[in-house]
Amino acid sequence: MKLDIEKISERDGVIVKVETENLDASNVKEFREKMQAHLDGHGLVMLDMKNINFVDSSGLGALLSALRVMNNKEGQLKLYGMNKPVRALFELVRMHRIFSIYNSREEAFAAL
Amino acid sequence: MNKKMPTMECGKVAILFTEWSQDSVDNPNLGVSNDLLPICGKHMLQRVIEKIVDSGFLTIHVLLTNSSGEVRDFLGSGERWGCSIQYHQNHPQSLLREKLKTLTLADDDHYLVANSHTLPILKKSFYEPGNNHQGKVAVHGNEKAIAWTGWGIFRGDWLMAQQTVAQLHENAMDESSPKARCLTHEPYTVITLADLVNTSRRILNESNANNEGNYIHISRGSKLHDSVQLVAPVFIGRHVKVSANTIIGPNVVIGDGAYIDKGAHLTNSIVMPDTYIGEILELKQVVVRGKSLANIQLNTVIEVSDSHLLSVVSDVLAQGPWEYRFTYLFDLIGNVFRFGKQKYGTDKTLKSAEVVWD
């Protein structure tokens, strides 16, 4: 799994583009390991989810863990670019009320 | 002019198209034709057949496409409704005319054409041929836009002149060969899943209006924890189990045998029979069938792979924690020996609603 990293110049933050179609039990451990450094090192992490077509409960758990890390240090985790199936799953498990979710990168930036 | 052929049919004759609309990317489904998905205990196909028979059409020719097995299994010979049903395969590629030839329609007789995805609300007089020899069509809409419901009374020779289903649609509303137009209120329809949710809401609201806004129907064998909150209107099918701290309604239909686990919250949704809804899930404007969930607002269907979120009840029983299996089995055994009403909880839970039992 590849994570494309783009620094956000005007803030202590990064945009992380997840280059995988599935975020599930098969790759969630790798996702956690790769994300940890960026979560620890920045106050703002924006996750670009455009490429992700499928998330299972392991994937949801990994995203929740990431959110907890950021909340504990009063940072921000923002998700954007979710496709409809992934969005439907988030709404089913009520995680759309827990995460900050935006349709696009511009919307996510506008909300800062 | 064709002579009227002697047939074994008796009474008036109807031609019923199933799967009138085609599935498409913009019209996702739950793996079964929408007219076979139950709403408040009855699916649209059943409601349509009952209407056709009630209107005096005792011979029904059913034109089948993809869901032929399920349709045949359900309708059988028609004996259940006191009618005679004959089946004809209607492949999309074949000409409608070729299909209708096998029905031996008489030129000057009138036939009811109907479809299983839409049920218009019409007066009884619509179903009589009347004096309009050109036939009549049931339409809905207003001055700006009128659409055909897919129901009409047509002469045999006119029907035989239609080459395809598309041509039938077009010519039914053709101004050059006018048919009497009967305006109906918005028909019940299940062409899309959004239509299914809207039709379900309408049926519930009609029952709700008849029950002074307190319609909560709990069918035989269902068990609800004391802490369940029901917000009218709600329809709960047979042998449904609803666990603690769940909120159901408004506008919720739960099919037979479903299992709603602790803390779930359902509004404006339909849960199909034998579906397991996991703990703390929120269902808002969705239709759920086993592991498949259709989100109406997003117009998308997803398959949920995690059985503890959504599943078929039998899978939960086979694989779920032992507590589920024993609780469910004890309930089932209890239901066998218990007749009539089930203890469902306190009046406070139901907020003084009038509960209808069947």
* Domain CATH code at residue A15: 3.30.750.24
For residue B19, is pLDDT > 80?
A: no
Which of B261, B262, B295 to mutate to test binding with chain A, by most A CBs within 10 Å of its CB? B295
Q: Return d(Cα B176, Cα B245) in angstroms, integer.
A: 62
Q: What is the pLDDT of residue B131?
A: 62
Q: How far is A7 from chain B (nearest CA, A)?
A: 32
Which residue of chain A has the CA closest to B310? A92
Per the model's pLDDT, the better-predicted residue between B136 and B258 turns out to be B258
Q: Return d(Cα B104, Cα A72) in angstroms, integer.
A: 77
Task: Tell whether ipTM is more than 0.90.
Answer: no
Residue with tokens 């509303």: B173
* Residues B28 and B193: beta-carbon distance below 8 Å: yes
> What domain range includes position A40?
2-110
> What domain range includes position B231?
193-357
Q: Tell me whether residues B282 and A94 touch, CB distance under 8 A.
A: yes
Q: What is the pLDDT of residue B271?
A: 97
Check the CA dihedral B158-B161-B164-B167 and report its sign.
negative
* Residues A69 and A39: beta-carbon distance below 8 Å: yes
What's the start-to-end Cα distance of chain A, in Å?
28
Q: What is the pTM of this model?
A: 0.84
Q: Note whether residue B306 is domain-resident.
A: yes
Confidence of residue A51 (pLDDT cuts 50, 70, 90): very high
Q: Tell me whether residues B280 and A94 touch, CB distance under 8 A.
A: yes
Confidence of residue B4 (pLDDT cuts 50, 70, 90): very low
Q: Tell me whether residues B302 and A85 touch, CB distance under 8 A.
A: yes
Least Cα distance to A108 among A51, A45, A57, A59 occurs for A45
Q: Which of A24, A57, A88 sits opposite B300 (nearest CB)?
A: A88
Q: What is the pLDDT of residue B134?
A: 73
Burial B128-164 (b: 16+ CB within 10 A, else e): ebeeeeebbbbbbeeeeeeebbbbbbbbbebbbebee
* Residues A31 and A49: beta-carbon distance below 8 Å: no
Query: B residues 259-288 near A, CB within 8 Å?
Result: 280-284, 286
Q: Which of A24, A57, A88 sits opposite B302 (nearest CB)?
A: A88
Q: Do B243 and B291 reside in the same domain of the chain?
A: yes
Q: Do B162 and B21 reside in the same domain of the chain?
A: yes
Q: Note whether residue B312 is domain-resident.
A: yes
Q: Tell me whether residues A92 and B299 touch, CB distance under 8 A.
A: no
Q: How far is B295 from chain A (nearest CA, A)?
A: 6
Q: Which of A57, A84, A94 sits opposite B300 (nearest CB)?
A: A84
Q: Tell me whether residues B293 and A84 touch, CB distance under 8 A.
A: no
Q: Return d(Cα A99, Cα A84) in angstroms, integer.
A: 16
Query: B residues 288-327 near A, CB within 8 Å?
Result: 293, 295, 298-300, 302, 304-306, 308-310
DSSP string, B96-159: HHHHHHTT---TT-EEEEEETTEEEE--GGGGS-TT-TT-EEEEEE-SS-EEEEEEEEEEHHHH
* Residues B165 and B19: beta-carbon distance below 8 Å: no
Q: Do B120 and B19 reside in the same domain of the chain?
A: yes
Residue range A63-90: average pLDDT? Answer: 95
Residue A81, phi-psi category: left (phi > 0), alpha (psi -120 to 50), beta (remainder) = left
Q: What is the pLDDT of residue B351?
A: 34
Q: Note whether residue B4 is domain-resident.
A: no
Q: Return d(Cα B161, Cα B247) in angstroms, integer.
A: 55
Min mean pLDDT across A78-87, B13-22, B137-146, B248-257 is at: B13-22
| A110, containing H or E segment | helix A105-110
Q: Do B45 and B150 reside in the same domain of the chain?
A: yes
Q: Do B173 and B156 reside in the same domain of the chain?
A: yes
Q: Do B183 and B198 reside in the same domain of the chain?
A: no
Q: Note whether residue B3 is domain-resident.
A: no
Q: Return d(Cα B338, Cα B14) in angstroms, integer.
A: 43
The Cα angle at residue B161 between residues B159 and B163, in degrees rounded to 5 = 100
Q: Tell me whether residues A89 and B304 touch, CB distance under 8 A.
A: yes
Q: Tell me whether residues A84 and B295 touch, CB distance under 8 A.
A: yes
Q: What is the pLDDT of residue B339?
A: 35
Q: What is the pLDDT of residue B24?
A: 55
DSSP H helical ranges for chain B = 44-54, 68-75, 96-101, 156-160, 165-172, 193-210, 313-319, 322-337, 347-350
Which residue of chain A has the CA closest to B263? A93
Taking the CA atoms of residue B192, residue A84, residue B250 and residue A57 in that order, the dihedral angle to the nearest 10 degrees is: 130
Paired sense of beta strands A54-55 and A22-23, if any: parallel
Using a CB-CB distance cutoff of 8 angstroms, which residues of chain A are in contact with residue B282?
A: 91-94
Helix count and strand count (H, E) for chain A: 4, 7
Using a CB-CB distance cutoff of 8 angstroms, which residues of chain A are in contact with residue B283?
A: 92
Q: Do B244 and B168 reside in the same domain of the chain?
A: no
Q: Note whether residue B218 is domain-resident.
A: yes
Structurally, how many domains does chain A consist of? 1
Least Cα distance to B234 among B220, B247, B223, B244 occurs for B247
Tokens of B152: 């009409």
Q: Note whether residue B5 is domain-resident.
A: no
For residue B355, is pLDDT > 90?
A: no
Bridge partner residues of B217 (DSSP): B235, B356
Residue range B6-26: average pLDDT? Answer: 65
Q: Environment class of residue B349 by beta-carbon count within 10 Å: exposed (0-12), middle (13-18) or buried (19+)?
A: middle
Over residues B154-189, the pLDDT tens digits come to 989 999 988 888 888 888 888 766 677 887 788 999
Q: Which stretches of chain A sit within 8 Å of chain B by CB?
A: 24, 56-57, 84-85, 87-89, 91-94
Which residue of chain A has the CA closest to B279? A93
